[in-house]
Amino acid sequence: MIAFAKSCTYFKNINTELLGLSIDSNSSHLAWVYDIYCRTGVKIPFPIISDRSGEIARKYGMISNNISNTQTVRNVYVIDANGIIRLILIYPLNIGRFIPEILRAVNAMQVADSNKAAIPANWVPCQPIINPSPNTVCEMEERVENINQNGSGMNWYLTFKNPEKCNETISDNCTEDKCEIKCVNESTENKNCSS
């Protein structure tokens, strides 16, 4: 929760809201959130749902009966504006979540959707993305010609383009109290700024 709280601004910057869910009671959540604040000074800036019956957790597969009948595994769900689950990450109970990858994945889905394209492995914001496959022979021939002219692909079925509206922030160097970020604008000029 602390890692998500510290990264909340980054999620808001990519139009993403955080929501927690736990099978503990509301009173337990209040005590837990207050204890986190007292010990670390970090306020949890997003709601945490109390799912005492475990009904929501079971529907989303958050309780692994192989491990426990009451303890949830560490799941992350990315649900889009249409209520569709787009990504599920499941971590063992003893492994923390990796916030930069969650941010990257959300950003990648948004870029893929807005550009009607696919995102390659190990992609980071503002790198080239994959064009959809051509649907006609004419489109295929155009792709081959484009590859020959500017080297924008490997073959007619695998070509790349730069994403439109590339203006994202990427976490470069995070410490406990502060993150240094690299700002990348549409002309891909880099500058350092602090948050």
d(CA 109, CA 185): 19
Instruction: Tell me the pLDDT tens digit for each residue of 55-71.
Output: 998 888 887 666 555 66
For 142, other C-beta atoms within 10 Å of its C-beta total 14
Instruction: Tell me the pLDDT tens digit for each residue of 3-13.
Output: 999 999 999 99
Q: Which residues contact 83 (CB under 8 A, 6 or more apart)?
A: none
178 compared with 120, residue with greater pLDDT = 120
Query: Could you write out the DSSP letters of every residue in 1-56?
Result: -HHHHHHHHHHHHTT----EEESS-HHHHHHHHHHHHHHH-----S-EEE-TT-HH
Give the residue extent of every domain in the chain: 2-106
pLDDT at 144: 95
pTM (2 decimals)? 0.77
Instruction: Tell me the pLDDT tens digit for each residue of 18-53.
Output: 999 988 899 999 999 999 999 999 999 999 999 999
For residues 63 and 56, is the Cβ–Cβ distance under 8 A? no
pLDDT at 65: 66
Out of 3.40.30.10, 3.30.465.10, 3.40.630.30, 3.40.50.970, which CATH number does the structure's domain 2-106 have?
3.40.30.10
